[in-house]
Amino acid sequence: MDYLDLVNVYEELEKTTKRLEKSDIISRLLKKASVEDLEQIMYLIQGKVFPNWDERKIGMSSKLALRAVTLATGASKEEVEKMLNKLGDLGKVAEELTKEKEQVTLVQHKLTVKKVFDNIRKLSVLEGEGTVNKKIGLVAELLTSAKPIEAKFIIRTVLEVLRVGVAEGILRDAIAKAYDVDFKEVEQAFDLMNDYSEVAKVAKKKSLGKIGLTIMRPINAMLAIRVETIEDAFKALGKPALFEYKLDGFRVQIHKKDNKILLFTRGMENVTNQFKETLNHIEKNIKGDSYVLDSEFVGYDAKTGKYLPFQNISQRIKRKYDIEDIAKRFPVEVNLFDIMYYEGKDLTKETQEQRRKFLEKIVKQVPKKIVLTKKLVTDNEKEAKKFYKESLKAGNEGVMVKNLKTIYQPGRRVGGWLKIKSIMETLDLVISGAEWGEGKRATWLSSFTLSCRKDSEFLDVGKVGTGIKEKDEEGITFKQLTKLLKPNIIKQEGKIVKIKPSLVVEIAYEEIQKSPTYSSGYALRFPRVLRVRYDKGVKDIDTIYKIKEIYSKQIK
């Protein structure tokens, strides 16, 4: 398929905000796409070239993309930067400069979807001497052959800011329409495969019903709904119910096949290397050659053995260097609570009760290395409340409550699992903007803009500067946040910067108020940063609907 055909679809998608129209546009594209093109189209329509769980990243900074534009168009760096300050979108800059170049270019090679896809994928595997120039060259090669409108979307794709408003729900509906299948089947397939490219290919063959859990590829985690009291939990789930400590760690999915073990966060990030000291504990103390387990990794102080809050170990998730040193300072205990696959058998359709019993048979517990979550099965409210208080006293967040008959439903908040927490509900939001500081903070970003999600849109809900430290101590610092966010700056006007939404933070606040100032229509009163959620991706942040729900409860 010609890349221009895909670009014309991008243009159509940009012109509408209506969900149904977007799914119709994509479904028409999928209907005419060949099986060979389908994989590449499905990735590129999402503005990426790898599935969510893949370790490979495009890894093209805005600085390198700018250099590629100057190389391909012959414009000076100063000219490109000036246009970027004016237009605020390097893709549009590439489009305008390519128009000027097109007037004097006699020969242009037609770009194909495959050529664009292959060049962008190559960016992730380049290493060694001359890598920077090779990356610039791969992008410049595409731009040299591109029509102006193609140049715009090539740059946006390599920067991972496509801006055509394609959410996962739109892709789900488009696949269902294109191949005349039930959207629920498409959704279930995605929860197991985590790759709409693969789902589309299977749907085209009318084989969605044959999809099962694939070992060594993460499935979407089953999620819990929050309730306020033990009474609410029993009312929703019935009696008896399974209670477990709700730990202040981070969710890890463990996959083992033969002698290889992989660890994935809830956000699909592969963190096997960052927590490789746990692999030996897993190998030694869990029977079996192949399995998929659900767990929580909880940090503890190596000297005292005392359990630590999540933020103490969160830095390990993104750590690439000095891994052994930080593992000694902040070790983790593997807390197992569910099993989804064992020795070739998919266990997701087994009941909660059966899965827990099975898990208990194959695990040898070693405190501070690998254990099962502490549990209680009861129909007694008084006993359940005592267990809840014990969990809080132990420094946990609260309790999980589970229906004994529920199956494991990937990616769903369906009510089979509930959570009860003692603290006011926090929000997981993404940083979408900031301001450069003044005085001694002049080299740091500050006053961070927070956004929630509405489908594929990001809506502002306020700014935060509290809860962030100036000096290295417990918690996150301005310096650390600046280092994390700086590569994702996509626009700057004076001291104000716009940031590609990627870094998730947990926010506490006093209350939610209505506000005409922010695009969400709401504002957080006295927000403060509790921690960076390295274990969560942008798709995991809270939605505008959650904020509306909390607001409505406040005013009752």
Residues in Cβ contact with 79 at an 8 Å cutoff, skipping those fewer than 6 apart:
none
pLDDT reading at 414 higher than 80: no
Are the C-beta atoms of residues 524 and 512 closer than 8 Å to each other? yes
Question: Could you confirm whether 246 is annotated as catalytic?
Answer: yes
Average pLDDT (114-122) is: 97
Task: Report how far residue 285's alpha carbon sits from residue 507's, in angstroms, rounded to the nearest whole number.
Answer: 37
Encoding tokens for residue 70?
């100057």
Query: Domain extents for the chain?
Result: 3-158, 225-421, 427-554
CA dist 7 and 91 (Å) reads 13
Q: Which of 101, 152, 246, 491 is catalytic?
A: 246
Closest CA to 452 of 515, 525, 507: 507
Q: According to CATH, what is the number of the domain 427-554?
A: 2.40.50.140
Confidence (pLDDT) at 285: 98
Q: What is the domain class of 3-158 according to CATH?
A: mainly alpha
For the chain, helix (H) and strand (E) counts, in that order, are 20, 20
CA of residue 312 relative to chain centroid, distance: 21
400, pLDDT greater than 70: yes
pLDDT tens per residue across span 251-307: 999 999 999 999 999 988 899 999 999 999 999 999 999 999 999 999 998 888 888
| 175 close to 186: Cβ distance less than 8 angstroms | yes
Cβ 369 vs Cβ 334: under 8 Å: yes
Residues in the chain: 556
DSSP string for 82-135:
HHHHHHS-HHHHHHHHHHHHHTT----PPPBHHHHHHHHHHTTT--STTHHHHH
Taking the C-alpha atoms of residue 197 and residue 11, their distance in angstroms, rounded to an integer, is 21
Q: Which CATH fold topology does 225-421 show?
A: D-amino Acid Aminotransferase; Chain A, domain 1 (3.30.470)
Residues 148 and 96: beta-carbon distance below 8 Å: yes
Give pLDDT tens digits for 429-455. 999 999 998 877 889 999 999 999 998
pLDDT digits (tens, 9 = 90+) for 41-55: 999 999 999 998 898
For 210, half-sphere exposure in the C-beta direction (CA atoms, 13 angstrom radius) is: 8
